[in-house]
Amino acid sequence: MTDIQKRPDIDEYFLKIASVVAERSTCRRHHIGAVAVKNKHILTTGYSGAPAGARDCLELGCLRDELGIPSGTRQEICRGIHAEQNVIIQAGLHGVSLEGSTVYCTHTPCVLCAKMLVNARIGRFISFGKYNDDTFVGLFREAGIQVEMKPRPPEKITFLD
């Protein structure tokens, strides 16, 4: 008899999907992925990287590293768009409301992304990784956005033969 892996719960499932989305990232510092979900249905995805059609940090190098800017500060000095921003942009491009949705992200948001998520009226934010900026906590609390930290999902994908 073979061992059957436990079925992931819904939060682990979508966090695992966010982790796969992060593999598309072109950021040299953090591979971050995000998935917006409502009623167990994926609305949009996003990953950290340069604007569409622009040269990215994999090609040009990291401007923040070159200038010695520590993580969690001076986000405006970056070629990249954050995963959470790309989730919101994709929703706007495709006419999808994120109101009441859950955003699953590989890292907690910077304050800029947190403000955008508040205005997008998400209901929950689920993550397993911490970014170097905790300013989002008070902002999300004030906006009534539920935040949950979960364990990192297993990297292995289990298939039945």
Tens-place pLDDT, residues 103-128: 999 999 999 999 999 999 999 999 99
- Only one residue has tokens 């719960």, namely 9
Cα–Cα distance for residue pair 67/6, rounded to 1 Å? 46
Q: Is the distance from CB of 111 to CB of 133 less than 8 angstroms?
A: yes
Is 148 catalytic? The answer is no
Please calculate the CA angle 92-93-95 and round it to the nearest 5 degrees: 60
Closest CA to 158 of 30, 4, 2, 1: 4
Per-residue pLDDT, 73: 74
Per-residue pLDDT, 1: 41
Per-residue pLDDT, 97: 98
pLDDT beneath 50, residues of the chain: 1
Helices (H) and strands (E) in the chain, counts: 6, 5
Per-residue pLDDT, 3: 54
Q: Is 42 helix (H, G, I), strand (E, B) or coil?
A: strand
Give the burial class of 113: count Cβ atoms within 10 A of its Cβ; 0-12 exposed, 13-18 middle, 19 or more buried. buried
Q: SS3 helix, strand, coil % of the chain, rounded to 5?
A: 30, 15, 55
Q: Going by C-beta distance under 8 Å and a sequence separation of 6 or more, which residues neighbour residue 124?
A: 101, 102, 103, 145, 146, 147, 148
Per-residue pLDDT, 53: 84
Give the burial class of 63: count Cβ atoms within 10 A of its Cβ; 0-12 exposed, 13-18 middle, 19 or more buried. middle
Catalytic residue among 12, 66, 84, 148: 84
Alpha helices in the chain (DSSP H): 10-22, 57-60, 63-66, 83-93, 111-119, 136-143
